[in-house]
Structure formats: C-alpha cells, structure tokens
Amino acid sequence: MTMQDFANTTAVITGGASGIGLGLAHRLGREGARVVIADIEEDALDKAVAGLEAAGVDTLGVRTNVGKQADITGLADAVEERFGAVHFLHNNAGVCTTGLAEEQTDAQWDWVLDVNLRSVIWGCREFLPRMKAHGEPAHILNTASMAGMSGGPLMAAYFTTKFAVVGLSESLWHEAQAEESNVGISVLCPGFVRTGIARSDRNQPDGLGGWVAAGSQSGAQFGELLSAGVDAGIEPSEVADVIVEAVAAGKLWIFTHPGFDAAILNRARRIVDGEVPDAREMTR
Ligand SMILES: NC(=O)c1ccc[n+]([C@@H]2O[C@H](COP(=O)([O-])OP(=O)(O)OC[C@H]3O[C@@H](n4cnc5c(N)ncnc54)[C@H](O)[C@@H]3O)[C@@H](O)[C@H]2O)c1
C-alpha cells in the first residue's frame, strides 16, 4: 500500500524546526497535512510553529530530545492526543562532529549515535506498531545521507550512523514487503543542502566542547570545507519536492543529487572488483 498524498493526514517530523525538516513541514502543510514538528531547540521550534500557523497549517510543536527514548514515546502520545492517527513519520533530526575517529571522545560518539541512529530505531519502534494498528496508508522516512552510501574521512561517527540508517531502512522495507504492510519505508540520502547542520554543536549537551574534536587540526580544516559545501548546497524546499514525489512513487532510496549516481556505481564496481576506494569519488 503506497501513501499517495498528504491531504488530511498527520505528519510528524523530528528536527522539524529548521533546515530540511522545516522545508518539508511547509510543503506537507501546503499538501493539506496536519504537521507536528519535534525539536530540541526551543526558540527555533516556537518560531517554526508560528511560521507554519501563519501559512495556515494546522501545527503542533513538541519539544523533544530524540536522543532520549522517553521523549520519543512522549512525542507519539502527544501527537495521538492532539490529532489521532499518525500517517507519516520523518526521522530527520541529525548532528555531526569532525576529527579523526580516535580523537573523538566517547561523549561525542554517543551524542552522534543517539541523535542520528538510536533515535531512528526508537522512532520506528514507537510509531510503526501504532501505524500498523490503524491500518490506513502510512509511511516512515528515515534521513541518512550520501554519507550512508560511501565512506570518507574525518566524520567517522556521522558515516557510521548514516550507513546504519540505510541498513535499518532496508531491513524495515523488506519486512514491510513480506507483511504486505500498510506502512511504506524510505531512506533519504541527500548531498549538500543549505541548512544549519554544520552548526550542530548549538544543540550539544553541555561539556562536549564543540563539533570539532579538541585539538584536531584536520578536523578544523575539514569542518571549514564542510561548512562551505553546506552553504553552497541546494535549498531545503527542493529536497521537500523530491520527497513528496518519491513517497508517492513508493521509492525506498531517495536521492536529491543525481550527480552522485556515478559515485555509487563506481563504489559498487570497486567493491566487486576487489579494488580500494577512490578518495575523490564523493568530492568531484
Ligand atoms: N544539510 C546537508 O547537507 C545534509 C546532507 C545529508 C544529510 N543531512 C541530514 O539531514 C538531517 C537534517 O539536518 P539539516 O541539514 O536540516 O540540519 P539542521 O541543523 O538545519 O536541522 C537539524 C534539526 O535537528 C534538530 N536537532 C538536533 N539535535 C536534536 C535532538 N537531540 N532532538 C531533536 N532535534 C534535534 C536541530 O535543532 C535542527 O532543527 C540530518 O539528519 C542530517 O544529517 C543533511
């Protein structure tokens, strides 16, 4: 069963107060959805709710730390209390750190693993049974990245979580197919999008010391490159347009930058040919 349109549906977006999540919230609102945005950043959340309401969207903002399982359960309960059945969940909140893998502390690793990966596991485990129980067409979209399609240096925690989100989503897709489920599954793999992702440390728990590993010169340089890439990226509204079309088409993998097709193909070819990765693949 494919979710064909968003009119009269309830859509939940984590990390919905800015960037890709907020772009999708506005697009889904225009499609006629009731929109719930869940975010840790209170000021941004209030502003985003006000903006959506001003645009005529029936909106609920729920302050949520997706790195805490209890918050995700609280989110699901709050949404059901206000709007009833949930039809669309976008596990979108994400953060990143830079530096050599061994320079990143346990606390930095845990932060990225919790926000980017465990939150997705918890989100699926909390919402999927509720979506199956109501039986109407529904969909879960998990955000990975092109960093979930091809590895690279200096963001090991980020790559680790994004590869894992791709694997988790593929598992869920196979399970849904086998069950002929009413809940479709997709995984979003964007290239650079102009958002606040390179300022992730604005949402760090106290004491983590920023998004660049302490004293990491290569991490600091890479952080600057990453910020420049993000600033030159496509707009969140363009990602939202791709998502709406891809969900209706029932696509599992959703890509926003067709230019990376060659990188995916070359990586697969290098794997089966027994070659080593091409370090320039994702930066061409
Ligand atoms: N921007 C890019 O170039 C790009 C590329 C590929 C993938 N992504 C992914 O897209 C997703 C959205 O990021 P974005 O680029 O829009 O960045 P963003 O920083 O603009 O948005 C991320 C949102 O997540 C929220 N957030 C952070 N920690 C949270 C937590 N613990 N609980 C709840 N909310 C939290 C932030 O407050 C923010 O509103 C992320 O998963 C990111 O990894 C981004």
First to last CA, the chain: 38
Closest protein CA for atom 7 of ligand 1: 145
Cβ < 6 A, ligand 1 pocket: 14-15, 17-21, 39-41, 44, 64-67, 92-95, 115, 143, 145, 190, 192-193, 195-197, 203, 230, 233
Return the residue whose CA atom lies nearest to atom 16 of ligand 1. 19
Q: What is the pTM of this model?
A: 0.98
Ligand 1: residue whose CA is nearest its atom 30: 65
Give the total residue count for the chain: 284
Give the pLDDT band (50/70/90) at residue 32: very high
pLDDT digits over 150-199, tens only?
Answer: 999 999 999 999 999 999 999 999 999 999 999 999 999 999 999 999 99
Which listed residue (158, 159, 192, 222) is catalytic? 158
* Ligand 1 atom closest to 144 (CA): 7
Structure tokens at 141: 């979209």
Distance 95 CA to ligand 1 centre (A): 6
Give me the domains of the chain, ranges plus CATH numbers.
Answer: 10-283 (3.40.50.720)
Share of residues in the chain with pLDDT > 90 (%)? 92
| pLDDT attached to residue 169 | 98
* CA of residue 160 to ligand 1 center, whole Å: 16
List all residues 6 or more positions away from 149 whose beta carbon is below 8 Å from its beta carbon: 166, 189, 260, 263, 264, 267
User: How many angstroms separate the CA atoms of 208 and 21, rounded?
Assistant: 25
Q: Whose CA is nearest to atom 41 of ligand 1?
A: 94
Residue to mutate, 24, 26, 27, 40, ligand 1, most ligand atoms under 8 Å from C-beta: 40
Arithmetic mean of pLDDT, 10-33: 98
What DSSP state is assigned to residue 55?
T
* Res 84 pLDDT > 70: yes
Tell me, yes or no, if 158 is annotated catalytic: yes
